[in-house]
């Protein structure tokens, strides 16, 4: 089966599946009404911005947008003559882009991978470069960028074993797509190995580390955090449970029921991962008998609050900055975990569950350096929380270890920018970058 036939078959399949995708979009809109808006953008229909040249950055949702922030700022500083287009897939990702960059960028939803939609999109924005965060593989987008001589750099590339298995049924298409890229900037050697198993050419891959270590914490975030913490008494501790899902919250609330009786000065702040769960989370806390207050209604908690729910978007960092101990969600729930470094950068001791396959290497590094505890259930949470509540020196020790890990692993932005400079301006890669070029050392294990 030749390449052209496979591409045509894929384009026909995506066209035929469009009603199913729209049904799913509408279904999500029932819980999150923002999904009902701006549908035209998902088909490449939007007013032309009349750019002469631009740089496209695609970040699927909030986590990818947050990881991309330092890279986008570096791009904006280096390529000032370009306009910047940032695409997302989710409304929460869209909100985050608007919050951070406002009108300084042109934001859209990435169109569905339909031939006509992708062509319209590229024709209107005229990118000189496409930066795709992590591993969003869209065969038509990558193919038409290649046809238009638009170099693609996959930044912060990661590929879990689960995702790799998911590509099994479209292996040849995924292989063609990744080989339409100029460079793949892999987070780890393991990610690079999996990209090879996916079919990516080895000479495209460079192991540069994770952009998440280059997280930027502005001074105003720290100041907001200090102001938030002042709303509790001096002897109170704030425990933040961030990016939580239902299964996380069941164990957290079970543990908190015990801990609150023994330690009345402990305040729990919950930041649910998805907006459609805000009310569900609040109701679960109220049913447990806790004085539950909401960010959207109260502004900030008062002295009688047991649990404070951040039911707003884009404020998690300032609440991390206000906290003393963190739990990072999606990890007791079988989601694959969320970014533990967002807690580590604030010198917080971290509790995290066992299901962290989306951030396996980073989470393991945090465990290895002594910055986190593994918790599988409410009993584990109680045991480690008791230790941290009663031992300020242990909190400090773990927090400093976590921050040190972040600081020692910074630099992925600068390395990724070297790849981009080569792709954009043909600037030769220096000796340091050449050392980071992927080399197959165990070929028989990768085939």
Q: What angle (nearest 5°) sits at the alpha carbon of residue 91, between those of residues 41 and 7?
A: 50
pLDDT at 19: 78
Check whether 15 has a pLDDT greater than 80.
no
pLDDT at 445: 45
pLDDT tens figures, 179-188: 999 999 999 9
- Does the domain at 7-21+29-209+412-446 match CATH 3.30.230.10? Answer given as no
Higher pLDDT, 18 or 404: 404
Annotated catalytic, 64?
yes
> Mean of the pLDDT values across residues 281-299?
95
**Percent with pLDDT over 70 in the chain:** 96
pLDDT at 421: 97
Confidence category of residue 166, pLDDT binned at 50, 70, 90: confident
Check whether 382 has a pLDDT greater than 90.
yes
Higher pLDDT, 226 or 443: 226
Query: Considering only CA atoms, which of 189, 188, 198, 158 is closest in space to residue 63?
Result: 158
Check whether 441 has a pLDDT greater than 80.
no
Q: What angle (nearest 5°) sits at the alpha carbon of residue 39, between those of residues 130 and 50?
A: 50
Q: What is the pTM of this model?
A: 0.86
Higher pLDDT, 34 or 148: 148
Residues in the chain: 447
Torsion of CA 166, 170, 172, 176, to 10 degrees: -90
Q: Give the CA count within 13 Å in the CB-facing half-sphere of 162.
A: 9
pLDDT at 444: 38
> Mean of the pLDDT values across residues 186-205?
94
> Mean of the pLDDT values across residues 59-88?
95
List phi, psi (to 5°) of 351: -105, 135
Q: Considering only 266-270, 406-410, 432-436, which range has the smallest mean pLDDT?
A: 432-436
Confidence category of residue 194, pLDDT binned at 50, 70, 90: very high
pLDDT tens figures, 216-240: 898 999 999 999 998 887 779 999 9
374 burial level (CB within 10 Å; 0-12, 13-18, 19+):
middle
Instruction: Say which of 64, 249, 251, 318 is annotated catalytic.
Output: 64
Confidence category of residue 440, pLDDT binned at 50, 70, 90: low
d(C-alpha 211, C-alpha 222), whole Å: 21
Check whether 443 has a pLDDT greater than 50.
no
pLDDT at 250: 97
d(C-alpha 318, C-alpha 224), whole Å: 6
> Mean of the pLDDT values across residues 259-264?
96
Pairing mode, if any, of strands 152-157 and 127-133? parallel
- What are the structural domain ranges in the chain? 7-21+29-209+412-446, 220-408
Q: Mean of the per-residue pLDDT values for the chain?
A: 92
Domain pair 7-21+29-209+412-446 / 220-408, same fold: yes
Q: Give the CA count within 13 Å in the CB-facing half-sphere of 359.
A: 30
pLDDT at 5: 67
pLDDT tens figures, 143-159: 999 999 999 999 999 99
pLDDT at 3: 66
**Percent with pLDDT over 90 in the chain:** 77
Check whether 79 has a pLDDT greater than 80.
yes
pLDDT at 446: 43
d(C-alpha 37, C-alpha 16), whole Å: 22
User: Any bridge partners for residue 326, and if so which?
Assistant: 240, 350
> Mean of the pLDDT values across residues 397-402?
98
Pick the CATH number of 220-408 from 3.40.50.300, 3.40.50.2000, 3.40.605.10, 3.10.690.10: 3.40.50.2000
d(C-alpha 425, C-alpha 197), whole Å: 30
């Amino acid at each position: 089966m030749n390449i052209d036939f496979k591409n045509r078959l894929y384009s026909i399949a995506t066209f035929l599946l469009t009603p199913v995708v729209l049904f799913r979009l509408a279904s999500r809109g029932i819980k999150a009404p923002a999904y009902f808006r701006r549908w035209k953008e998902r088909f490449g229909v939007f007013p032309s911005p009349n750019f002469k040249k631009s740089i496209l950055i695609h970040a699927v949702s909030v986590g990818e947008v947050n990881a991309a922030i330092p890279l986008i700022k570096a791009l904006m500083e280096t390529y000032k003559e370009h306009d910047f287009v940032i695409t997302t897939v989710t409304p929460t990702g869209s909100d985050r882009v608007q919050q951070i960059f406002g009108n300084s960028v042109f934001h859209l939803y990435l169109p569905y991978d339909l031939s006509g939609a992708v062509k319209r999109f590229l024709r209107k924005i005229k990118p000189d470069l496409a930066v795709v965060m992590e591993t969003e593989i869209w065969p038509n987008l990558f193919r038409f960028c290649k046809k238009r001589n638009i170099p693609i750099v996959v930044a912060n590339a990661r590929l879990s074993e689960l995702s790799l298995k998911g590509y099994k049924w479209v292996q040849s298409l995924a292989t063609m797509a990744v080989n339409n890229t100029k460079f793949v900037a892999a987070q780890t050697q393991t990610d690079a190995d999996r990209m090879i198993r996916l079919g990516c050419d080895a000479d495209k891959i460079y192991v540069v580390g994770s952009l998440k270590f280059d997280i930027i914490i502005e001074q105003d975030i720290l100041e907001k955090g200090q102001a938030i913490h002042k709303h509790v008494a001096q002897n109170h501790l704030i425990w933040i449970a961030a990016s939580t899902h239902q299964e996380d919250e069941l164990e957290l609330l079970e543990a908190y029921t015990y801990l609150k009786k023994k330690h009345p000065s402990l305040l729990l702040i919950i930041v649910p991962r998805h907006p459609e769960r805000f009310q569900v989370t609040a109701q679960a806390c109220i049913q447990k008998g806790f004085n539950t207050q909401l960010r959207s209604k109260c502004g900030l908690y008062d002295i009688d609050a047991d649990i404070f729910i951040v039911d707003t978007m884009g404020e998690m960092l300032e609440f991390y900055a206000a906290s003393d101990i963190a739990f990072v969600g999606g990890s007791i729930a079988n989601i694959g975990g969320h970014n533990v470094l967002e807690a580590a950068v604030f010198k917080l001791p971290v509790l995290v569950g066992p299901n962290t396959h989306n951030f396996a290497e980073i989470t393991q590094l945090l465990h290895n350096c002594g910055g986190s505890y593994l918790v599988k259930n409410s009993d584990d949470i109680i045991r480690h929380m008791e230790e941290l509540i009663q031992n300020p020196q242990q909190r400090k020790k773990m927090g400093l270890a976590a921050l040190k890990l972040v600081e020692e692993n910074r630099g992925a932005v600068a390395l990724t920018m070297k790849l981009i400079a080569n792709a954009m301006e043909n600037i030769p890669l220096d000796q340091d970058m050449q050392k980071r070029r992927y080399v197959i050392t165990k070929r028989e294990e990768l085939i």
